[in-house]
Amino acid sequence: MSLAAAVTVLLLSVLAPLPWALGPRPVRRSGSTPDQAQAADRRVDPAVLLDITRSAIVAGASVPSALGALAAALPREQGRPLHRAVTALRLGAPWREAWQGAPAEYADLQRALEPAWVDGVSPVPLLQQAAETIRARRTATAREAAARLGVRLVLPLGLCLLPAFVLLGLVPVLLSTGTDLFGG
């Protein structure tokens, strides 16, 4: 093997893992303790919240009772906004005022239950549709990420496989053809 080929192979083997080395890394939030990170991991998924609420309402619970049971079952930090909303609703607060200050993770739950509270409409189809929408959004995001990964893998695979193909596939054929043509 010539010196130029050896240098090329060495350079390619060093540069091939570069995209993975520069890729995204999980970053711990500044100022968060390990206990806060564990609490964030224990949060219940918004689609599951919608499904549980729908099941409670199908079983015959009222909107405040379903929300109260859900809040009691959730981790303390996640259930606190629901407790506030349920308390406000039971005290006679208007729907939007009761949910004021609730985190964005409860927006779908709030939107799905509002027609039931305000107009008396059954919230079951709205809760089911909201959960399906969240899951469809996640599926689309995962597919986009998989497509981006495929594009990011083209360069490293090309840098590794193309030189290997040339060195192992074409060079021997060209050398044998050259020796046959020039009478070696």
Residue 67 lies inside a defined structural domain of this protein: yes
Q: Is residue 88 a part of any domain in this protein?
A: yes
Q: Residues 86-109: what's their mean pLDDT?
A: 94
Does 171 map to a domain? no
Please report whether residue 35 resides in a domain. Answer: no
Section 123-145 average pLDDT:
96
Residue 18 within a domain: no
- 74 inside domain: yes
Is residue 29 included in any domain, yes or no? Answer: no
pLDDT at 36 over 90: no
Rg (CA), the chain: 29
| CATH number for position 143 | 1.20.81
What is the number of structural domains in the chain?
A: 1
Whether residue 80 is predicted with pLDDT greater than 80 in this model: the reply is yes
Q: What is the dihedral of CA 138, 29, 39, 102, to 10 degrees?
A: -70
What distance in Å separates the CA atoms of residue 63 and residue 57, rounded to the nearest whole number? 7
Instruction: Give 100-126 pLDDT, tens digit per residue.
Output: 999 999 999 999 999 999 999 999 999
Q: Which domain covers residue 112, as residue numbers?
A: 43-155
Inside any domain, residue 8: no
The arithmetic mean of pLDDT across residues 34-47, rounded, is 68
